[in-house]
């Protein structure tokens, strides 16, 4: 799964869950513009982080790689909802906390769970909604936030090559059969 695939799967979940139009959902970028409120902002805070240990094994017959390395990768996704409390902006919709509660509750729906799984995502936590409403300069900004941990499967093929020749030199001494000393030649081909 590419980062773009991950972002698309998150958008496909968040847009209907928040009831915000697609153009009102952005991925945070310090240099990027923000739409008028209300809007949602997503930031992939960390990841891909290795979860546990990867499993390394020989592949099924007929596969091209010598080894298959499989494991889980975890991403921490911060979701923020911004609305306004300024009556001059004529916003009469639900507040940030209500929208975020609806987004969080959507993660309990079997249809959402199935859609995320079909996109290759699993959720590993039960996020809590945080109320981050604050006075910014001279206006109140209503903001709610939650962190969602998503996991994806990672499968990597590796063909490190095989050893075809081994060169051994030296003398082996000790009791070997009836002979006291065995000398190994300079190069031995693999049988």
**Is the residue at 185 inside a domain?**
no
Q: What is the structure's pLDDT at 100?
A: 95
Provide CB contacts within 8 A for 124, sequence distance 6+. 74, 149, 150, 151
Q: Is residue 70 part of a domain?
A: yes
In a domain, 177, yes or no: no
169 domain residue, yes or no: no
Dist CA 173 CA 179 (whole Å):
9
The interaxial angle of helices 3-18 and 110-118, nearest 10 deg, is: 160
Q: How many CB atoms lie within 10 A of CB 10?
A: 22
Domains contained in the chain, number: 1
Q: Is residue 186 part of a domain?
A: no
Taking only the tens of pLDDT, the chain with its 191 residues reads 788 888 999 999 999 999 999 999 999 876 778 888 899 999 999 888 888 888 877 766 666 657 778 888 999 999 999 998 766 677 778 889 999 999 999 999 999 999 999 999 998 888 999 988 887 766 778 999 999 999 988 888 777 666 677 777 766 665 555 555 555 555 555 55
> How do beta strands 165-166 and 188-189 pair?
antiparallel
Residue-wise burial string across 128-157, b where 16 or more C-beta atoms lie within 10 A, e elsewhere: ebeebeeeeeeeebbbbbbebbbbbeeeee
Is 59 inside any structural domain?
yes
Residue 79 β-bridge partners: 42, 146
- The residues, any chain, with a CB within 8 Å of residue 125's CB and separated by 6 or more, are 147, 148, 149
User: What is the domain range of residue 80?
Assistant: 3-163
pLDDT at 172: 61
- Please tell me the predicted confidence (pLDDT) of residue 52: 81
CATH assignment at residue 68: 3.30.70.1700
């Amino acid at each position: 799964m590419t980062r773009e695939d991950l972002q698309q799967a998150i958008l496909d979940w968040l847009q209907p869950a928040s009831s915000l139009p697609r153009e009102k959902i952005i991925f945070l970028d310090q240099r990027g513009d923000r739409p008028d409120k209300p809007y949602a902002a997503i930031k992939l805070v960390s990841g891909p982080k290795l979860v546990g240990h990867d499993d390394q094994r020989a592949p099924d017959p007929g596969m091209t790689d010598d080894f298959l390395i499989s494991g889980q990768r975890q991403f921490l996704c911060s979701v923020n909802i911004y609305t306004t409390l300024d009556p001059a902006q004529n916003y009469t919709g639900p507040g940030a906390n209500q929208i975020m509660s609806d987004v969080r509750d959507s993660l309990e729906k079997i249809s959402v769970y199935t859609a995320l799984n079909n996109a290759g995502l699993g959720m590993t936590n039960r996020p809590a909604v945080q109320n981050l409403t604050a006075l910014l300069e001279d206006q109140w900004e209503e903001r709610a936030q939650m962190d969602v941990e998503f996991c994806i499967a990672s499968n990597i093929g590796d063909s490190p090559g095989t050893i075809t020749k081994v060169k051994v030199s030296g003398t082996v001494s000790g009791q070997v059969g009836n002979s006291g000393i065995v000398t190994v030649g300079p190069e031995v081909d693999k049988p």
